[in-house]
Chains A and B, each alone.
Chain A
């Protein structure tokens, strides 16, 4: 038994060195050389300083910006230091209430818009950090943003198209619009 325990201890140490030290260091080394931007958080830099990440959504409720997915993180929405979904069940009245409030907020910001709201714009994302909305959710907001900024709808629509990504390789995932990229472009940054 003593010999077995000695073998087990040494084996655990050796495996820790291989899988817990060497392996992550090799991956870090290669990733930092081959994919430096991705491995460091896909940051958007302005004058050499990071001003956001293309992968991490920020929170918007000003009519002049496109709004992203609702976020259930605490204590503030889109808190990247504490990712989380709402975990509200489908029949929980709190979910229906939250959706109603979000519809009301959208209507208040854009009273003339009577089309039904795309579902992703009124439901919280899984991570609370979803950087993207569906093209339908962007189209729903084009009129409001154009009016708030004194731009024509076609001008805003053109910027939306630039921030839109199709299905990956034409067959994976969903088409989507990156909200932070779009809003930075609208601000001329």
Chain B
């Protein structure tokens, strides 16, 4: 088969989409294993080591188990909302991967408004949480959903504001352009001039991916699972997959926006066609820090979470945005 077929735009898009879906699902599977291994390492245990060599096949076993389990839904649940919620959570988390540039040519859709696309699509994820909590008809889920709604909407503000500095510097909304603007060694990467934004994006990203210390919608010790308390089997698996996918997504965006995407840290480490290795390494590093935090710190309370978002993160963003704009005006 000749590669001409790839020039056929709709077909190329379909194949790429299938590849991305494959990648995201695998990423979620690998991340479950990584999560357990990292937590085991932090907690001085071994972690899963029975299925396959060094426990590497554990995710396969997990997924098989989830597929064989019955999908129980509460009697009084709003059935359609209940079933649609995991899908509404997973699709946005997977869809944004379409605009992430893995390497110079390896991007499914090089949208010129990729950042706007990201902002628009991730907001739908919050809807999934609300649907899951509301559809379950349980007090615990309802509280979880309300927390989730409040949290994800509040933290979207600093998340978006922290992107603006990068957009100003790069002068483009396209992720490929932003990465290209950071070429030429790590001192050109935006995490240096935009350091406060870098930190804010990291924190808001944690909240957006519902990771500890911002896992209030889940809050397993007080509301014992929150919005997903009633889910079981593969619907639960899909929620988990979407959480891991969005965690990977936030890491990938973090790398793209602030850590130079596929760019090597110094010129002579350029890997040519294998630039995606740099992208993968940096993303893995960010994901590792996410897990590190997950297994070290306790959870915030709802009021503290709101205070932190609105009184600390948003002002930092606004001030630094002003500074960036001012400096750009002068230079």
Question: Is B a genuine binding partner of A?
Answer: no
Question: A-side interface residues toward B, CB under 8 Å?
Answer: none
Question: B-side interface residues toward A, CB under 8 Å?
Answer: none
